[in-house]
Chains A and B, each alone.
Chain A
């Protein structure tokens, strides 16, 4: 092993404001890189974020799809893909909540907070990494969609905007997940809680079936909840159709989530120990 001519390593002196900002960015990227490295090392995470969405695509396309009737002349796979992509982005946040709860339990966050790094970097790095991870997953799902005859029908720019909207939507859910992970702290409870709210919210929406096929009382909920607004917007971007109303509602809902859960997540992180 290298016994290297042990050079004296001195820590940099107390930084100014600009330097602090630079370090906050650099710390965030170091943490993000670490999170992505961990993600790539754990087969279970890969299955959860890549294989599972692909299975959803194939299952809905070939198993349930035949029984689901879409009004108009839209093919089910075209109807389905924006929904699956939204659902994929939302479910990717399970990992956010679980990872934060784990780090808290193991004392990793304590160690990091006792160091002279930017305190915001743990949370920010987590969100940056998860956004990257989400984007990769979404692109894979789009690829699989293309293989089973899904096509964007509205041009390249709306297609890109749809992916962007999916990522922003995922990031919003990520903040909720980060908050629950830091507030609940226990890995299993976090997982169970995620299941309890994420499943209904994504499935009781326009993601997989036309809402008209649901009973009336359910339609009232499904028609008026954020996931439906976002999926409808994504769908309009992907395959055309009226967009305006849903777009504004989506923006309002997502902004609301950021405004409420951003500070909540930060506060939970500051308090967490």
Chain B
């Protein structure tokens, strides 16, 4: 592939897309410098997948402009397709074919010659630790292996820019960590990467920069550290075992924190940002809760997580929507999206 393009790997300006009444994207801007990883974070239905589909030429935007590898995704779609890879929420592989056949097929469709696609498949099988399973039908693979094969398939054409749409959704913790390792090594190899995720720790772990999307808008952008600082220092957190006393606990610590305390009625977890007051706030909180006669568990001070960021930015926890998301993950949410379209 010729590489005369300079400029960012991905550039998005004022992108909008609606499906009838549903405004999936309401004008987003993104810049992903070459060789960096952008984490696009947001709950189900935030518009992440729609953005990826537009950037990978699968969907036309209503308004706005998007360049991938320096090419316009609408006017130079064919050129864009030559420099991207896409790995989606579910493994888009042919389960009846073996891992090797899947990769060779993709190679042939990238117009590599037969020997070239054979070599490329062998390289990728090796790289993704699938050599032992190479000649077995992909339907005998574990979920993690299928996802690895899918990722390998997206790399057959040696993409300059790689899109990973929720690459670890539905994977068990071990496969998830293995996937993280692979993604990290791809990033080190210089591929420009756009990664969508509902998991805050994933973005924190893998991305150089993070944008937070909610209801089709970018509501925050920056490094994980910058986003955490926006919450304003440390977070005081504890659990109230007696749910009836939850509101008493909240009013008791209201004066201790710098923001509104947030209480989760289901888990009984209360947290509040305390800025730089650290241990003073801790002592005040202990006194206030003792005076109110509220028993607590695990009262502690911690560094803010991206969960806190999300809560501070949107006023609702990412987890709340994520739980709905888990019940109807991947495939179904896609169906919802197509329904919204018609």
Contacts and interface: CB of A to CB of B under 8 A. Distances in A.
Interface of A: 1-4, 6-7, 9-14, 23, 26-27, 30-31, 34, 37-38, 41-42, 105-108, 110-117, 121, 185-186, 273
A37 B108 contact: no
B166 to A, nearest CB: 12
Given A112-B109, A116-B157, 10 more contacts: A41-B137, A106-B92, A110-B53, A110-B58, A110-B88, A114-B84, A115-B109, A115-B157, A116-B81, A273-B338
Nearest to A4: B119
Contacts of B112: 9, 11
Given A14-B79, A106-B90, A114-B58, A37 B97 contact: yes
Interface stretch (B121-129, B170-178, B256-264): B121-129
Interface of B: 1-2, 53, 56-59, 78-79, 81-82, 84, 86, 88-94, 96-97, 101, 105-106, 108-112, 116, 119-120, 122-123, 125-126, 131, 137, 153-154, 157-158, 331, 334-335, 338, 341
A245 B90 CA distance: 52
A11 B94 contact: no
Given A2-B122, A7-B119, A114-B84, A185 B1 contact: no
A112 B126 CA distance: 23
Contacts of A11: 1, 82, 110-112, 157-158
Contacts of B90: 106-107
A27 B126 CA distance: 26
A83 B71 CA distance: 55
Closest CB pairs A-B (n = 3): A107-B92, A111-B92, A41-B96
A10 B101 CA distance: 21
Contact of B126 (A3, A7, A108): A3
A10 B113 CA distance: 11
B122 A273 contact: no
B128 to A, nearest CB: 12
28 contacts: A1-B122, A1-B126, A2-B122, A4-B119, A7-B116, A9-B112, A9-B158, A11-B82, A11-B110, A14-B78, A30-B105, A37-B101, A38-B96, A41-B97, A41-B137, A42-B96, A106-B90, A107-B88, A107-B92, A108-B92, A111-B153, A111-B154, A114-B81, A115-B106, A116-B78, A185-B338, A186-B335, A273-B338
A115 B163 CA distance: 13
B296 to A, nearest CB: 46
Contacts of B105: 30, 34
Nearest to A111: B92
A9 B155 CA distance: 12
B327 to A, nearest CB: 18
A41 B96 CA distance: 6
A1 B131 contact: yes
Contacts of B111: 11-12, 23, 26, 116-117
A105 B331 contact: yes
Nearest to A19: B111
A238 B121 CA distance: 49
B252 to A, nearest CB: 50
A7 B137 CA distance: 27
B86 A9 contact: no
A122 to B, nearest CB: 10
Contacts of B89: 107
A191 to B, nearest CB: 17
A115 B81 contact: yes
B244 to A, nearest CB: 46
Contact of B59 (A9, A30, A273): A273
A7 B119 CA distance: 8
A8 B335 CA distance: 40
A186 to B, nearest CB: 8
B119 A38 contact: no
Contacts of A1: 122, 125-126, 131
A105 B341 CA distance: 15
Contact of A110 (B86, B94, B106, B341): B86
A218 B82 CA distance: 56
A7 B112 CA distance: 13
B109 A27 contact: yes
B126 to A, nearest CB: 6
Contacts of A10: 1
B122 A4 contact: yes
B167 to A, nearest CB: 13
A14 B131 CA distance: 33
